[in-house]
């Protein structure tokens, strides 16, 4: 494989001149440029990015550390990241942590060895350990979707509270008073934020929120199914369910079917996160949709800006609003409204 020196020899110039031509840096006369380009083409020269990176301390590589690329929400985020990064000449390495801190740590040490220029991190834990591990080695970090403790970091997230509140508003307006809340792991900020947003709506409606109807589990179909089965056996049976992400919702829908409950006639359901348009033959879930692609794109923009000028010390937290989409998975409770689940 030809090196820059081979090209230089063939073109009758110094290696550094070849470098200048290929990088369009410094002054090169048009004739020299042509000679070099011809020589490079003839030798089928392919620049060695490793050597370039080693010298310049820039790998033109980002990493996206997320929970599971299989979740269509994250897939879309990933696509946003990829497109934006690629437009700036960066490549992206993907890492699935499956919410497993050990896996996350393993990936992070690999990324440090690789000297990636920046990391987009969906932290598996809310302690800032992962973030500071990267930063102390000079790697730029932007946190996605979740908040972490310990020092200021750039964060790009969806509007969990406002989104959840919008869903709660919708249900309360429809007359529901006994609503079960199925959310993710209690270790994650999003899990709490979505519950908090839900509660906020109750306050505004001057209603008492019943913590006994909240379940913390995982953001998976299985967990959604299990949590739904549990709350649906309560007396009185909830008239509506809030699923804190799309997988939990799918699990809940399966539980409905298992128990012979119709949606929305017997139980209403609202969901945080949409399923991409593409998968829905007949979308019926009332959801708040996060702008997943934009989330990935925005986070990448910020990360690239930080890489370009690391001096900028001012960190920012960007919240991209989620939008309520009312479909047919929710229905008003039969008048007169049933007695409240909890007597105040």
Partner DNA sequence: TCAGCATGTGGTACGCGTACCATATGCATG
Partner DNA sequence: CATGCATATGGTACGCGTACCACATGCTGA
C-beta of 16 vs 110, nearer to a second copy: 110
Residue 279 touches a second copy, criterion: CB under 8 A: yes
- Residue 97: which residues within 8 A CB-CB, separation 6 or more? 65, 66, 67, 103, 104, 107, 122, 124
The CB-of-341 to a second copy minimum distance in angstroms stands at 26
Tokens 């989620």 belong to 322
DSSP bridge partners of 324: 288
Residue 15 touches a second copy, criterion: CB under 8 A: no
* Residue 93 CB neighbour total at 10 angstroms: 16
Residue 234 touches a second copy, criterion: CB under 8 A: no
Phi, psi of 256 (to 5 degrees): -55, -50
- Residue 211: which residues within 8 A CB-CB, separation 6 or more? none
Residue 334 touches a second copy, criterion: CB under 8 A: no
DSSP string, 120-165: EE--SSSSTHHHHHHHTTT-EEEEESS--SSS--EEEEE-HHHHHH
The CB-of-246 to a second copy minimum distance in angstroms stands at 9
Nearest in space to 148 (alpha carbons), one of 109, 110, 122: 122
C-beta of 189 vs 300, nearer to a second copy: 300
91 binds, among DNA, a second copy, none (CB under 5 to 8 A by kind): a second copy
C-beta of 15 vs 101, nearer to DNA: 15
C-beta of 35 vs 177, nearer to DNA: 35
* Residue 311 CB neighbour total at 10 angstroms: 6
For residues 207-226, which are near a second copy according to CB under 8 A? Answer: 221
Q: Are strands 154-158 and 140-144 parallel, antiparallel or unpaired?
A: parallel
Residue 87 touches a second copy, criterion: CB under 8 A: no
For residues 10-29, which are near DNA according to CB under 7 A? Answer: 12-17, 19-20, 22-23, 25-29
Residues that bind a second copy (CB under 8 A): 1, 44, 46-51, 53-54, 59, 68-70, 72, 75-76, 78-79, 82-83, 91-96, 109-110, 112-115, 136-138, 221, 247, 250, 253-254, 257, 275-282
Residues that bind DNA (CB under 7 A): 1, 3-5, 12-17, 19-20, 22-23, 25-29, 31-32, 47-48, 51-52, 54-56
């Amino acid at each position: 494989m030809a090196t820059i020196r081979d090209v230089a020899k063939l073109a009758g110039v110094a290696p550094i001149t070849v470098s200048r031509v290929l990088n369009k840096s410094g002054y090169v006369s048009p004739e020299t440029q042509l000679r070099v380009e011809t020589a490079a083409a003839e030798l089928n020269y392919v620049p060695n990015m490793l050597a370039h990176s080693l010298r310049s301390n820039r790998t033109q590589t980002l990493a996206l550390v997320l929970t599971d690329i299989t979740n269509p929400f994250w897939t879309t985020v990933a696509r946003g990241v990829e497109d934006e990064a690629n437009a700036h000449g960066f490549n992206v390495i993907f890492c699935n942590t499956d919410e497993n801190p050990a896996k996350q740590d393993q990936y992070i040490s690999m990324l440090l060895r690789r000297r990636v220029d920046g990391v987009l991190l969906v932290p598996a834990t809310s302690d800032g350990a992962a973030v500071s591990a990267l930063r102390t080695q000079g790697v730029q970090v932007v946190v996605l979707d979740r908040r972490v403790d310990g020092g200021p970091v750039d964060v790009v997230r969806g509007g969990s509270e406002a989104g959840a509140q919008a869903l709660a508003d919708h249900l309360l307006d429809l007359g529901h008073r006994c609503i079960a809340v199925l959310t993710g792991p209690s270790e994650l900020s999003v899990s709490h934020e979505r519950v908090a947003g839900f509660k906020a709506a109750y306050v505004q409606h001057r209603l008492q929120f019943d913590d006994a109807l909240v379940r913390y589990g995982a953001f998976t179909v299985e967990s959604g199914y299990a949590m739904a089965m549990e709350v649906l056996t309560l007396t009185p049976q909830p008239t509506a369910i809030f699923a804190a992400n799309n997988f939990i919702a799918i699990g809940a829908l399966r539980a409905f079917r298992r128990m012979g409950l119709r949606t929305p006639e017997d139980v209403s359901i609202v969901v945080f996160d949409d399923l991409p348009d593409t998968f829905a033959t007949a979308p019926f879930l009332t959801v708040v949709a996060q702008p997943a692609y934009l989330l990935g794109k925005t986070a990448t923009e910020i990360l690239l800006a930080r890489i370009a000028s690391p001096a900028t010390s001012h960190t920012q937290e960007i919240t991209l609003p989620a939008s309520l989409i009312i479909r047919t998975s929710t229905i008003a409770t039969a008048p007169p409204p049933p007695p409240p689940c909890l007597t105040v």
